[in-house]
Chain A
Amino acid sequence: EVQLVESGGGLVQPGGSLRLSCAASGFTFSSYWMSWVRQAPGKGLEWVANIKQDGSEKNYADSVKGRFTISRDNAKNSLYLQMNGLRGEDTSVYYCAREGDEILTGYVGTASYFDKWGQGTLVTVSS
């Protein structure tokens, strides 16, 4: 059974730092892109960052670029999000998500999607 378990959330003061972890099991972690997606209280979903299978490519939302760093350790089947310079607007539940993909017949490119999610970890930025 595929499992993604986030940890590391909590209360932090503005300007502070936090490191989230996501432990993966039940699948070949090193074969998948992985993402972090967040959701502010009562709000919609916002993609935060993703990382290629071997860690060689990383992408970030403009809202976190320069402050957050995504990384992974394939030997430990783990995904991380280092969050620095935290702001009130970063208060959210943070989910790690596996990116599945499939080549669709007749179309150029590969369809990717978030097919497995963790339960989320709450990050609260407040003084």
Chain B
Amino acid sequence: DIQMTQSPSSLSASVGDRVTITCRASQSISIFLNWYQQKPGKAPNLLIYGASSLQSGVPSRFSGSGSGTDFTLTINNLQPEDFATYYCQQSYITPRTFGQGTKLEIK
């Protein structure tokens, strides 16, 4: 199975900040990497697919980059509604695997 490791596990930031979350795969996954946002008590929401493609309806302050084993989710100009937990997920092979999550908290 491909292991996905996110860093950091938690992060404090302020409204208006720019934050970066990284995700590393245990082997190359090309660009088959997705990012999700999850708020407490809610289902996850797809933000980015194919490493850098923005899902329809997702604000443009979210962006993704990377290929191979190293990937980044960047959120520019943090908004109050962005404070949530973020997960990466590989779709290169089955079983699909997720990172452990990064909790973004208000500073």
> In the docked arrangement, what's the CA distance between A111 and B50, Å?
6
CB distance A112 to B91 under 8 Å?
yes
The reply to whether the CB of B71 lies closer than 8 angstroms to some CB of chain A is no
A107-B30 in contact given A47-B97, A113-B46, A115-B46 (Cβ < 8 Å)? yes
Chain A contact patch, size range: 20 to 34
> How many B residues have CB within 8 A of the partner chain?
28
User: Nearest Cβ distance between residue B92 and chain A, in whole angstroms?
Assistant: 8
The reply to whether the CB of A32 lies closer than 8 angstroms to some CB of chain B is no
Residues of A within 8 A of B87 (CB): 44-45
A113-B49 in contact given A35-B96, A45-B89 (Cβ < 8 Å)? yes
The reply to whether the CB of B10 lies closer than 8 angstroms to some CB of chain A is no
The reply to whether the CB of A1 lies closer than 8 angstroms to some CB of chain B is no
User: Nearest Cβ distance between residue A100 and chain B, in whole angstroms?
Assistant: 8
A109-B32 in contact given A44-B100, A114-B89 (Cβ < 8 Å)? yes
CB distance B32 to A114 under 8 Å?
no
Instruction: Give residues in A with beta carbon < 8 Å to B.
Output: 35, 37, 44-47, 50, 59-62, 95, 100, 102, 104, 107-109, 111-115, 117-120
25 contacts between A and B (CB under 8 A): A44-B98, A44-B101, A47-B89, A47-B96, A47-B97, A47-B98, A62-B1, A95-B43, A102-B49, A102-B50, A104-B31, A104-B50, A104-B53, A107-B31, A109-B92, A111-B34, A111-B91, A113-B49, A113-B50, A114-B36, A114-B44, A115-B46, A115-B55, A117-B44, A119-B42
Ranked 3 nearest A-B pairs via Cβ: A117-B43, A111-B50, A113-B49
Instruction: Give residues in B with beta carbon < 8 Å to A.
Output: 1, 30-32, 34, 36, 38, 42-46, 49-50, 53, 55, 87, 89, 91-92, 94-101
